[in-house]
Amino acid sequence: MDEGMSGFCIRAASVGGNSSSTGTKCGRWNPTAEQVKLLTDLFRSGLRTPSTDQIQKISTQLSFYGKIESKNVFYWFQNHKARERQKRRKVSFDEKDIMIRRDSAKISYTQNFAEVNHVSEPERVIETLQLFPLNSFGEAESEKQKLRVHANDQYRGNTMFSCTMGEQMEHPPLDLRLSFA
C-alpha cells in the first residue's frame, strides 16, 4: 500500500554555507582534492584500516580543507581498500580464467603471476588472494547452521518483550516469553 516511496533521504538540514570547495549541495560528504590527496597518500603509505584514534587525527587534519567527519574517513578507507581488493580480484579472476582455458587439462591454479597487478598503485601491502574451490558448487541447500548464539545464556531471565505492528494487524502479536526455572 505504501510502495510509493522507493527511497528517500532525510538530511540533517542546516547545512547551508558549506561551500567546502565548489559549492557542494550537502547531503553527503564530497571530499576536496586536497583531502583526497592526503587520504590517498596515507593509503599508499600502507595505511589500510586506521584505528579510531588515527581516524580522528586524520579527520581533524582534513577538516582544514573542508567539512568532514570522522565517519567519512572511516568509510573512505573502508571503500578504498575494498575496491582495490575487488579490482585485483577481478583481474586475477580474468587471468586465471584465461589460463584455465589455455591448458584445460592440468588445472594448476597457481597464480605465480599474482604480482601482475597494474592497479595504478605500487603499494607494498601483500594481499593474499584466494583461489576459489571448484568442487563445491551445489551447496545451496546445505545451510550451514552454525549459529553459535548460545554463547552466554546463563541467567537469561524471564523477560517478556512484546511488539505489535500497529495498524496492520495481519499477524499475531509478537510475544517473547521465556521460561524460567
Partner DNA sequence: AGGTTATGAATGAAAG
Partner DNA sequence: CTTTCATTCATAACCT
Residue 90 found at the interface with DNA (CB under 7 A) = no
| Choices 21-29, 95-103, 111-119, 163-171 (CB under 7 A): range interacting with DNA | 21-29
Contact 12, 29 (CB under 8 A): no
Contact 68, 113 (CB under 8 A): no
In 3D space, the residue among 85, 146, 92 whose CA is nearest the CA of residue 115 turns out to be 92
Give residues 52-91 in contact with a second copy (rule: CB under 8 A).
Answer: 52-61, 63-64, 69-71, 74, 87, 89-90
Provide DSSP, 132-163. PPSS--S-TTT-------TTS-SS----EEEE
Q: Build a one-symbol-per-residue string for 38-57: x at contacts with a second copy by CB under 8 A, - elsewhere.
A: x--xx--xxx--xxxxxxxx
Cell of 80: 578504498
Q: How many residues does the chain have?
A: 181
Q: Which does 181 bind (CB under 5 to 8 A by kind): a second copy, DNA, none?
A: none
d(CA 88, CA 94): 10
d(CA 114, CA 125): 13
Residue 160 found at the interface with a second copy (CB under 8 A) = yes
Q: Which does 90 bind (CB under 5 to 8 A by kind): DNA, a second copy, none?
A: a second copy
Residue 26 found at the interface with DNA (CB under 7 A) = yes
SS3 assignment, position 176? strand
CB atoms within 10 A of CB 55: 20
Residue 105 found at the interface with a second copy (CB under 8 A) = no
From the CB of 38, what's the least distance to DNA, in Å? 12
Give residues 9-38 in contact with a second copy (rule: CB under 8 A).
Answer: 9-12, 14-15, 21, 26-29, 34, 37-38
Residue 167 found at the interface with DNA (CB under 7 A) = no
Residues of the shown chain interacting with DNA in the complex, contacts defined by CB under 7 A: 1, 4-9, 11, 20-31, 36, 48-49, 52, 71-72, 75-76, 78-83, 85-86, 142, 144, 146, 150, 152-154, 156
